[in-house]
Amino acid sequence: MKFLEILITTLFITLFLFMCVSNSNTHPKPEAESDINPFEVNSHLLPGINMGNALEAPNEGEWGVTIQDEYFAIMKNAGFNSVRIPTRWSTHAAIDSPYTITPTFLNRVQYVVNQALNNDLYVVINIHHYEEIFQQPAEHKERFLSLWQQIGAHFKDFPNTLIFEVLNEPHDNFTAALWNQYLDEAIEVIRKTNPDRTIIIGAAGWGGINALNQLSLPEDDDNLIVTVHYYEPFTFTHQGAEWVEGSNAWLGTTWSATADQRNKLNEDFNQIKTWADAHNRPIYIGEFGAYSKADMNSRSLWTGYVVNQCKQNEFSWAYWEFCSGFGAYDASAGKWREQLLNALIQTP
C-alpha cells in the first residue's frame, strides 16, 4: 500500500511539472530548418513598425515611452506583421569583462519579445545606441562580441520568427572597413548558438544608401537580410528635430510629390535595388519616417510613396515609429493617426 501511495504521488508531481513547463510564457524553437530562405523571412516582415524611444532610451520611460502589453495587439489589429524593438544593451551591461548584462534588463527584453510573439508578430531585436563603440571601436570590440554571445545564448531556443540585427547605424570612427571585420566576428559568435536564425546587417555611414557599396558580407552565410535606413530628404524628415543642430531652419519644408521629389526618391530606391540584385540579398528598410514638426499632409504623402517604392522593389519595411515624435499612433488619445496609418497599411 505504501509503495502504491509513493507511485501515485510521483506521477502527480511529474504531471504537475509537465503542465507548468507546457504553460510557461516561452516559444519553443521548432525543428531546425536546413534551408531557411531569407527572402521568404523578409517577406513576413512587412508591414512593420518600430517600437521606438522605449528600450533604446538609457532607461525605459526616460524618453516618454514605456511599453504596454496591449501595444502589440494594437499593432497586429491595425495590420502590422512585424515589430522592430531597438534595444540599448550597452547601458545595462558591466563595463569590465565578462560584461554581464543586468538580469532584470535581460528579463524585461525577453518579456517584451514574448508579448510581441504572443500576438503573432515577427520580432527584430538589435543593439541600438551603442554610442561608445562609434567613438572607440577597438576598446569596445570585446564587449560588443560578449553582448552578442549573451543575447544569442539567452534567446537560442526562441522560434525563427525572432530575428537578430547586429548593430544599428555604425558611424563616426566605426568605419566601413572596421565594420566589415566586426560584423564577420559577430555573426560567427551568433552562429555558435543560433545556427539557423536569420540575421539583419546594415552598412556603416549611419546605415544609409551611400555606404552599401562598402559593405562586405560573408559569402558562406546565405541567411542574412540587409537593412537600409531612409530619411531623405533629411531637411524634410528631420525639420525641427531637437537632436539635430540647425534643424529649426528647415521648419515649413513640404513634400508634395513634385516631379523632382519623386525622381530623387525613385533614384534612391533604384540604387538600393541595383545593389540588392547584384549581391542577391533581401532588403529591409528598417527605418523611415518624417518627424511630427512637418505638416501631416506632407508626412502621409511621403510615407505612402516610400511604401509604394518598397512594394515595387519587393523590400520589407518598418516605419519609424509607433508612438513618439514620428509616431503613427497617439498613445495619449489611444488611437491611430489615420492619415499615417492609411499611408502605411494600404489596401489594394
Which amino acids are annotated catalytic?
169, 287
Q: What angle do CA 124, 129, 130 make, to 5 degrees?
A: 105
Running DSSP on this structure, what letter comes out for residue 222?
-
The span from the CA of 196 to the CA of 54, in Å, is 28
Kindly report the number of other CB atoms within 10 A of residue 202's CB atom.
Answer: 28
Peptide bond connecting 47 to the previous residue in cis, omega within 30 degrees of 0 = yes
Peptide bond connecting 321 to the previous residue in cis, omega within 30 degrees of 0 = yes
Peptide bond connecting 98 to the previous residue in cis, omega within 30 degrees of 0 = yes
Give the 3-state secondary structure of 160-201. Answer: CCEEEECCCCCCCCCCHHHHHHHHHHHHHHHHHHCCCCCEEE
- Phi and psi at 165, nearest 5°, equal -115, 125
The span from the CA of 232 to the CA of 234, in Å, is 5
Containing 85, the helix (H) or strand (E) segment is strand 82-85
